[in-house]
Structures are given as C-alpha cells and as structure tokens.
Amino acid sequence: MTTLKNDLMLRTLRGEKTERTPVWMMRQAGRYLPEYRATRAQAGSFLDLCKNAELACEVTLQPLERYPMDAAILFSDILTIPDAMGLGLYFEEGEGPRFERTVQTAADIDKLFVPDPNQELQYVMNAVSTIKKGLNGAVPLIGFSGSPWTLACYMVEGSGSKNFAKIKRMMYDTPELMHRLLDIVSQSVISYLQAQIEAGAQIVMVFDTWGGNLSTKDYETFSLAYSRKISHALQATNPSVPRLLFTKGAGVWLETMADAGYNGLGVDWTTDLKLARELTKDSVVLQGNLDPTSLYASPEKIRQKVRDVLADYGHGHKHIFNLGHGILPDINPEHVKAMIDEVHQSSPAYHQ
C-alpha cells in the first residue's frame, strides 16, 4: 500500500489537528484548462473521454501538475449509473446531458436493475485504478456518485429541468413509485461507491445537485433519507474511508444533514460558513464555499475573497477550502493559482 505524501485532506476529515486548510476544487479537471480541451479533442467526445482509462487519468492529473491541490477527484460523470441501467446517456451540444429513455411508470421501474460495477461500470473502475497508480501516493483520490434523488431527477425528466414537474408529480401522486425508484438507485450507488473504494478511492463524495429544489419535509423524505442510507452502508464496510455530502442550496438543512453519517458537508456560497459551523455544532468538516463567479475578478480581489472565506470559518481544523459549486469553464487558470496560493499563505494562521 502506497503511503500518501500529502494526507492533509484525510487528516482533516478524521478531525485531526492540521497545519493549514486543505484545498481542491469541484470540477478541477475541466474546460477551463487548455490541456483538458486538447485531451478531450483527442478522445472525440466527453463520454469517450470518461470511458478511456488512460485519458481519464491524464485529465485527472492535469490540475495537480499546475497547482498544489490536496486531492484528486475521479474524472467521470454523475450519470454513469442510469446510463449503465440502459437509459442511453448522450450529450447535446450546449444543452447538457440527456437520456434516450426515461422512467415514468411502474413498468419502467420494473425494467431497472442494479448495475454490476465490474461489468456495466468496469470502465469507471479501470479509471479509478489507473488514476490511483498515476498519483503514486501524491494526494488522496476522491471517488463520487450522484445522489439517488439527483439521479432520479435526470432519469424521470430525461435531462435537467427548471421546475422538475415530472418527478414531483410522481413524488406527490405516487410516492410508493418514487420510493421504489429511489431504493434501486440507492442500492446502485452503494455498490458503485464500494467498488470505487476497492479500486483505490480513499474518499467518496455524494453530489446531491437537485436536493435544494425540495421543500424541507420532502428533502428529508426523498433525498436525505437515501443519502443517509448510503453513508451508513459504506461506513459499515469501510469505516476508515471518509464520506462527503454536498447538497446545493441546502444551507437551512445543515443541522439535519450533520446527523446523516457523513464526515464532511459541502456548503455552497449562499450560506455563511460561520452560520454553517453554528448549525452543525462543529460535529462535521465543512467544505467550501467561495462563490465560483468570484474567480472572474482580479487576482487581488480573489485573494481578498479567499481571506474572507477563511475568516468566516475562523480558527479550527474542520474546514476544507473549495468553491461553493463547480468551477466555471471560462475561468482564467491564473486566477485559480491566486486562490490556491492565498489558501496556502493565509490559512496556517487559523490552525495555530
């Protein structure tokens, strides 16, 4: 087993005292990097890039070659599970992900199955093991999945949505069908993340992109309950592998989320970290929460924004610096450097 040269993220997630705040970015391997765009052109398409282990490894490592990040994250997509279920994922230029087939009825749900990570999703496991080897112990590797609620949104709607009319109709009119769908997706996520851990992931993260579109009661019933189920299952089999949960737009629910069994919670930029810390009573690590659009500002302004985020969290060892959502595709890479450099320079004072 390779000893990590930089285990700052893991020590933070274990609640240990650290010398500075770790930093990485959601979507850190992506279109803002010219080297990523070149590799994607070589692959032919986004999905072809995801399914080529060597190229997926290449783009995962690209941001680490530029910046002193404290973690790598598997290059993949949250929609691999429904694609493996046979729904036919494709990407429309300028429109985002879409599915050829959707889940609308009980008969549609009957056709679904829990994909075998070492069959239908073998390409993801190949990517994880290739990346782990390529990292050679530099930093920990984060594996991930979409949350059951978020995956179900895409499966029912067939794409992203403004009002989620189809899935909310199912949720309100036939909640038993909604729970059946969420249950099979939850089983799939557990199996998928377990396989990523076995292939080499040292941290796993659940992205609940659309949970914030629910009411408080519905969030607990149809989203958080299933994220909790995933965390408990993984904790039982992999107690030493930390788990992160990020629900966009969930600031008001952080207190409840803190009891869901995750080591860390992502916080978007709409929630002050001081408030987040009060709500969670310092019981979990908080990850975030620089507004991604602040990276359009000048390097001097970015550095001030970084200092503001660090000050919002204050003194302590349970903060992972990140954006409040994924980095935007037209950000200047030099602006990312300013952000990371400032975390390195200013965060040690909060760890004394």
β-pair type (319-323, 243-247) = unpaired
CA distance 266 to 323: 9
Residues of the chain with pLDDT under 70: 1-2, 94-95
Which of these is catalytic: 14, 31, 66, 307? 31
pLDDT in the model for residue 92: 74
Contacts of 122 (CB under 8 A, 6+ apart): none
Query: Residues 40, 43, 47, 52: is their CA dihedral positive or negative?
Result: negative
Q: Could you count the other beta carbons within 10 Å of the beta carbon of residue 92?
A: 9
Question: How distant, in Å, are the alpha carbons of 95, 102, 110 from that of 213?
Answer: 20, 20, 27
According to the annotation, is 325 in a ligand binding site? yes
According to the annotation, is 29 in a ligand binding site? yes
What does the block give as tokens for 221? Answer: 């019933």
According to the annotation, is 27 in a ligand binding site? yes
Q: Could you count the other beta carbons within 10 Å of the beta carbon of residue 322?
A: 27
Instruction: Report the C-alpha dihedral over residues 258, 264, 268, 274, rounded to 10 degrees.
Output: 70
Which of these is catalytic: 14, 77, 116, 123? 77
| 154 labelled catalytic | yes
Nearest partner of 247 among 264, 266, 263, judged by Cα: 266
According to the annotation, is 218 in a ligand binding site? no
CA distance 37 to 222: 37
CA distance 138 to 68: 10
| 307 labelled catalytic | no
Segment 47-89, tens digit of pLDDT: 999 999 999 999 999 999 999 999 999 999 999 999 999 999 9
Judge whether 80 and 193 are in contact, CB under 8 Å. Answer: no
Which of these is catalytic: 14, 37, 40, 180? 40
pTM (2 decimals)? 0.97
According to the annotation, is 345 in a ligand binding site? no
Which of these is catalytic: 11, 14, 27, 180? 27
Judge whether 72 and 139 are in contact, CB under 8 Å. Answer: yes
pLDDT in the model for residue 1: 54
Segment 121-158, tens digit of pLDDT: 999 999 999 999 999 999 999 999 999 999 999 999 99
pLDDT in the model for residue 91: 85
Taking the chain, what is the end-to-end CA distance rounded to the nearest angstrom? 32
pLDDT in the model for residue 96: 82
Q: What region does 347 belong to: left with phi over 0, alpha with psi -120 to 50, or beta?
A: alpha
According to the annotation, is 77 in a ligand binding site? yes
CA distance 306 to 324: 12
| 77 labelled catalytic | yes
Question: In this structure, which amino acid lies at residue 100?
Answer: E
CA distance 326 to 75: 13
pLDDT in the model for residue 160: 85
Which of these is catalytic: 32, 36, 154, 192? 154
pLDDT in the model for residue 94: 67
Which top CATH class is 8-351?
Answer: alpha beta
Question: In this structure, which amino acid lies at residue 352?
Answer: Q
Alpha helix ranges (H) inside the chain: 8-13, 34-43, 46-50, 53-66, 80-82, 106-110, 122-135, 148-157, 165-173, 175-199, 216-219, 225-237, 254-257, 273-280, 299-313, 333-346
